[in-house]
Amino acid sequence: QALLRARRLLGACLAADGRTAEAKALIAGVAAQCAQLQMLRYLVDGGPHVVATLSALRAAQRAGRWDPEWPEVPAEFLDQALNAVVPQRV
């Protein structure tokens, strides 16, 4: 759990710093692991930069631009995450 928390935080920091490509790659991995473990709330509680990155990942899925190096994340899981009540957004 500590590693997952560290990766989520690093992804948020990368997104906040404008390093979106790196943030997407990292958050895609975190999202894939959270999807496997059904940890939706844990993912969205990562903060507004994590949620914004999830939105960008979902947009990439919809547009068929999912990077083949990113782990697969179910679209339904991303939709649930983006529709969850989030206390703050960027």
**Residue 89 domain flag:** no
pLDDT value of residue 86: 60
**Residue 50 domain flag:** yes
**Residue 40 domain flag:** yes
Exposure on the CB side of residue 72, measured as CA atoms within 13 A: 2
CA distance 1 to 66: 26
| Residue indicated by tokens 């190096």 | 69
**Residue 23 domain flag:** yes
**Residue 32 domain flag:** yes
**Residue 88 domain flag:** no
**Residue 34 domain flag:** yes
Q: What is the tens place of the pLDDT at every residue in 18-75?
A: 999 999 999 999 999 999 999 998 998 999 999 999 999 999 999 999 999 999 999 9
Residue 36's domain comprises 2-83
* Structural domain total, the chain: 1
pLDDT band of 89, cuts 50, 70, 90 = low
- Average pLDDT estimate for 64-89: 88
Please state the pTM of the whole predicted model: 0.90
pLDDT value of residue 34: 96
**Residue 90 domain flag:** no
